[in-house]
Amino acid sequence: MLKMLTRDDLRKLSVVGGGVEVLDWRFYDTLDIANGGVQSVFRFFQQAQGVGGLTKETTNMDIASQLPRGYEFVPTSIIARLVDPTGAIAVTDLTDKLLCTSVGFMSFNIGNRPYYECKVLDLFGGALTGWTGNLAAGYTQARTLDGVRLELSPVIPSNYNFDVTVTYPAAPVVTLTQKLYIALVGKVLRPRQG
């Protein structure tokens, strides 16, 4: 059966005019887990692109810790990835990754209240696999699951602080600095243009 879009359907999809548009969106942020074990608590979404030389590769936040005026966000899942900062393959690579993904807990907070908590391992969806031999190591993260799903999604209002905090029982003592990427995936509601 052929489905046709009506004028009303097209008006709802328009990017200009009054009202709001609802889009699939991902807010993300990346923080360094520095070598040497110096930090045990990491608060994501507290930095904005363009500040201190941060690029969109690191974060897509326009305002640190808040959404712009008129925006709302309904997160439906939270994911985490370890991004290899160097591309180098080392024997310690798998050990470093396991230190950053196998212990600790995560808290998703709006204002001063947590709205979801879980073990860090739950964020990575799947299992870590690695291999070593002849002074070479590798790491891959299974993609069979996409982090944690939020069944009863809270709405993050504009101009209201939020964060995802990852807390380790002790600072991970990694050999190479690791980049931890956290994303809130869901629907953004924002004013239409014009």
- Residues 63, 48: contact at Cβ < 8 Å? yes
pLDDT at 8 over 50: yes
Confidence class of residue 151 from pLDDT cuts 50, 70 and 90? confident
**CB-based contact 174:33 (threshold 8 Å):** yes
Contact (Cβ atoms closer than 8 angstroms) between residue 105 and residue 117: yes
SS3 44: strand
pLDDT digits (tens, 9 = 90+) for 108-148: 999 999 999 999 988 886 555 555 555 444 445 554 446 78
pTM attached to this predicted model: 0.84
Q: What is the pLDDT of residue 39?
A: 95
Q: Which one, of 102, 164, 80, 97, lies nearest residue 137 by Cα?
A: 97
Q: What angle do CA 135, 83, 33 make, to 5 degrees?
A: 90
From the number of C-beta atoms within 10 Å of its C-beta (0-12, 13-18, 19+), residue 42 rates as buried
Please state the φ and ψ torsions of residue 43, each to the nearest 5 degrees.
-105, 115
Angstrom distance (rounded) from CA 167 to CA 164: 10
Segment holding 96, helix H or strand E: helix 93-101
